[in-house]
């Protein structure tokens, strides 16, 4: 399989991307996946590596025509030398990771999919996760925090999303990811990264409250 060709392809597509899906995210997720694979058995490395590198391309943040992108990926995967079965599995993993995320639905992934999902989620946690959350907040014109949180409780869901803050995102999503990890290694890493985020949030709150 031509890994360097896949990397060149995604590097080019993500070169104008600043909402958290830049190429360095893909490199880190790949590194996470390599680490998780060390403690697992029965996975397919080529499927995992390809799915990691392609997983964000069919996010609506990166393409305005998801079906066209899926067709393009199908053709590219032939060029990169993936077998019929491998191509089908990669597509299954990346479509379900992304659609399930958007629909808040739970889809049962196989071990390869679980590793890709864990590797991606780990990059939303810890010091890197904090950096990505604030980067996203700036990109989406969201405030860091809302001192008047009660106001948001009476909003419609669309308004509610619009008034999302970075600190809210920690409570609504990031602190919950630790409980959703699939593999034992990811659970361990997530626990450490989540503890660090909690420590950070305590400091953040203390500073907002005048270090009282």
Nearer to ligand ADP, 26 or 37 (CB): 26
User: Which among Ni ion, ligand ADP, none contacts residue 133 (Cβ within 5 to 8 A by kind)?
Assistant: ligand ADP
- Residue 120 in contact with ligand ADP, rule: CB under 6 A: yes
Query: In angstroms, how far is CA 101 from the centroid of its own chain?
Result: 10
Angle, helices 66-79/84-103, rounded to nearest 10 degrees: 150
Cβ(93)–Cβ(116) below 8 Å: yes
> Does residue 20 interact with ligand ADP by CB under 6 A?
yes
Question: Measured from the CB atom, is 22 or 152 closer to Ni ion?
Answer: 22
Residue 146 site contact among ligand ADP, Ni ion, none (CB < 5 to 8 Å, cut-off depends on kind): none
Segment near ligand ADP (CB under 6 A); pick from 6-14, 136-144, 180-188, 200-208 = 136-144
Q: How many Å apart are CA 25 and CA 192, to the nearest integer? A: 19
Determine if 63 is a binding residue for ligand ADP (CB under 6 A).
Answer: no
Residues that contact ligand ADP, how many (by CB under 6 A): 14
Segment near ligand ADP (CB under 6 A); pick from 46-54, 70-78, 131-139, 143-151: 131-139
Residues in 57-96 that interact with Ni ion by CB under 5 A? none
Token pair of 179 as six digits: 């409980």
Q: Count Cα neighbours of 136 within 13 Å in the Cβ-side half-sphere.
A: 19
Return the residue of 53, 57, 86, 169 that touches ligand ADP, per CB under 6 A. 169
Q: Does 31 help bind ligand ADP (rule: CB under 6 A)?
A: no
Cα torsion angle, 60, 62, 64, 65, sign: negative
CA atoms of 42 and 115, how far apart (whole Å)? 12
Q: Using the rule CB under 6 A, is 113 a contact of ligand ADP?
A: no
Token pair, residue 120, equals 């991606």
Smallest gap from Cβ 58 to Ni ion, in A, equals 11
* CA 17/CA 62 separation, integer angstroms: 8
d(CA 93, CA 116): 8
78 vs 101 by CB, closer to Ni ion: 101
Residues engaged in binding Ni ion (CB under 5 A): 56, 120
């Amino acid at each position: 399989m031509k890994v360097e060709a896949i990397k060149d392809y995604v590097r080019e597509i993500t070169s104008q991307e600043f909402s958290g899906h830049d190429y360095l995210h893909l490199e880190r997720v790949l590194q996470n996946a390599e680490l998780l694979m060390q403690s697992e058995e029965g996975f397919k490395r080529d499927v995992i590596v390809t799915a990691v590198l392609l997983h964000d391309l069919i996010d609506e943040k990166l393409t305005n025509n998801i079906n066209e992108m899926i067709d393009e990926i199908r053709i590219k995967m032939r060029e990169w030398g993936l077998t019929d079965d491998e191509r089908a599995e990669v597509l299954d993993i990346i479509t379900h990771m992304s659609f399930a995320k958007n629909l808040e639905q739970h889809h049962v992934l196989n071990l390869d999919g679980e590793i890709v999902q864990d590797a991606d989620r780990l990059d939303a946690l810890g010091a890197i996760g904090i950096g990505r959350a604030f980067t996203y907040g700036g990109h989406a014109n969201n405030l860091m925090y809302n001192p008047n949180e009660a106001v948001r409780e009476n909003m419609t869901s669309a308004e509610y999303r619009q008034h999302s803050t970075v600190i809210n995102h920690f409570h609504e999503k990031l602190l919950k990811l630790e409980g959703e990890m699939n593999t034992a290694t990811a659970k361990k890493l997530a626990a450490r990264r989540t503890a660090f985020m909690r420590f950070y949030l305590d400091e953040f709150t203390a500073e907002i409250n005048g270090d009282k």
